[in-house]
Chain A
């Protein structure tokens, strides 16, 4: 199994590693990292993926001092040091996109190319409307509809999950709440640093994404000097899960471009 453990600033993290090619740091979203998603082996054909489970996700520990995505980006500075001086590729999905944006804005010179998949992390609209719908104040069935193009294909059968799997799922959700509760799904300071990410950056979004709107992604992308947008049809907030082939094509053609 390509899973190992590493300790960053006293935080014990699970790290999945696999594939060949230029190093690609993969920062997972709120659901945690899942190497069995089809998109991972597709990416691993061309890239050497390094995918830490963020603190509080998977089996990674969660220290009591950590409570914002920016804290995780700071933690990963240490990981970058260990990965050596060569520039690498970076991809982050949703919450992981927020962490990736934080990280790339801190050390832009460490990255060749950056992919942000339906990222959150900035507040673009006015104070009287949420940029991202309040997923903690709606029924699970509504969240599913915002999350997936085809919710029926992706709804987990809880009765088939083991206690360990359920525990991990709920713990991931707890950590998501801890990290994103207030300010909701953003750090008001992040957007003032994003201009530092000068490398080519791809913003990816599923066409049916009900959480990260096309307008939000457009506004986010405009904060970076060298960005482009690709939309994946028949996918929602997690295009890497719903359209793995189209997703891997879009990512690899950008990274190799």
Chain B
């Protein structure tokens, strides 16, 4: 198994939550101090470099108009890492291509990073969470269709090397596609897709890309990975689904003692508890399939939102969205998840969030890398 250090580069120094309606989309940026923000950017970049030194791979992502993740242009952050790192794989998860207007531009950005990093790019693509809709002014209806069409266009741009080719889709058009640079890796960088639904995972499995899922817990993750494996087999890719096709993202904090680990893990919960978003940004029309939207109107709740109301470290560990404890405990928790869901090849560690300070973050990375990761590599 490969482990990836992931930080959302949050800006956590906010006024009390009861003074604002939403941490995303509409929270005024007067609350963002660029001087503090600069320090935070440099700190988070340092943490990625430290994680690389400890032998971890690196992951970053992109969100917009939010204090939870001040990385609205992930390729820029990735470009810094491509230059400053030397050996880690670099995963962007991902490019919100249902909300990007020019897929060819995304292909160019990714190709640049692949070359700059001498072939270390893992190119992830996401549909984007619902609160990305308003910042992108993007139509919430037909996002899946846009995402998959954009991906096809990007793959074509990456793999065409004999002069201009054209693409005329339902949503995206270009008559003269001939990107410079072309990607380093052949035929193209590995493709990752994140989805949190079995239906989405089936589509990813049929195409054989790496499927990542975030904080979906024991049973949710099992359903998603099963759907992936079924679709993989039905597509004739063989009975054995390579474990490196599946990735799980969890909040992870390793400490010398259980008490120290839980103290750090408590701070990681900010990632879940700070996500105050009103329904009109969390549920734009058309984002969910209509039947799922009906269930929400009837009172159903997203499992993560339900959890956030009474979030605790113990509860999070029990739900399988967090691994926290001594190295032995963390290893056992990962093993439990691994066995429950039928195995996976990548663990994406949300190892920094909110008020977890630099030293604490590094301590968590170091202990995980030295005391947990060696055994995980054998998984």
Residues of A within 8 A of B (CB): 64-65, 67, 136-140, 158, 163, 166-167, 170-171, 173-178, 181-182
Docked pose: A167 CA to B290 CA in angstroms:
6
Our pick among A65, A136, A139, A166 for the contact of B294 (Cβ within 8 Å) is A166
Q: Are B285 and A174 in contact (CB under 8 A)?
A: yes
Q: Across the interface, name the chain B residue whose C-beta is closest to A181.
A: B139
Q: Are A178 and B137 in contact (CB under 8 A)?
A: no
Contacts of A67 on B, CB cut-off 8 Å? 139, 142
Contacts of B278 on A, CB cut-off 8 Å? 139
Interface membership of B376, Cβ < 8 A: no
Docked pose: A182 CA to B138 CA in angstroms:
8
Q: Are B139 and A182 in contact (CB under 8 A)?
A: yes
Count of chain B residues with a beta carbon within 8 Å of a chain A beta carbon: 23
Asked whether A174 and B281 contact (CB < 8 A) given A64-B170, A166-B294, A166-B297, the answer is no
Q: Across the interface, name the chain B residue whose C-beta is closest to A173.
A: B285
Docked pose: A170 CA to B294 CA in angstroms:
7
Q: Are B141 and A177 in contact (CB under 8 A)?
A: yes
Contact with A along B25-54 (1 / 0, CB 8 A): 110000000000000000000000000000
Shortest C-beta distance, A170 to chain B (Å), equals 5
Our pick among B134, B141, B170 for the contact of A137 (Cβ within 8 Å) is B134
Contacts of B285 on A, CB cut-off 8 Å? 136, 170, 173-174, 176-177
Contacts of A173 on B, CB cut-off 8 Å? 285
Q: Are A137 and B139 in contact (CB under 8 A)?
A: no
Residues of B within 8 A of A (CB): 25-26, 134, 137, 139-142, 145, 170, 278-281, 284-286, 290-291, 293-294, 297-298
Q: Pick the 10 closest A-B CB pairs, nearest first.
A: A178-B141, A174-B286, A177-B285, A181-B139, A173-B285, A174-B285, A166-B294, A170-B293, A177-B286, A170-B290
Contacts of A65 on B, CB cut-off 8 Å? 170
Shortest C-beta distance, B3 to chain A (Å), equals 39
Shortest C-beta distance, A68 to chain B (Å), equals 11
Shortest C-beta distance, A34 to chain B (Å), equals 19
Contacts of B281 on A, CB cut-off 8 Å? 137
Shortest C-beta distance, A54 to chain B (Å), equals 14
Q: Are A170 and B297 in contact (CB under 8 A)?
A: yes
Our pick among A137, A163, A166, A178 for the contact of B142 (Cβ within 8 Å) is A178
Q: Are A136 and B284 in contact (CB under 8 A)?
A: yes
Taking each of A67, A170, A177, A182, which has the highest tally of chain B beta carbons within 10 Å of its own beta carbon?
Answer: A170
Asked whether A174 and B294 contact (CB < 8 A) given A140-B280, A182-B137, A182-B139, the answer is no
Docked pose: A167 CA to B297 CA in angstroms:
10
Shortest C-beta distance, A103 to chain B (Å), equals 23
Our pick among A158, A167, A177 for the contact of B291 (Cβ within 8 Å) is A167
Contacts of B139 on A, CB cut-off 8 Å? 67, 177-178, 181-182
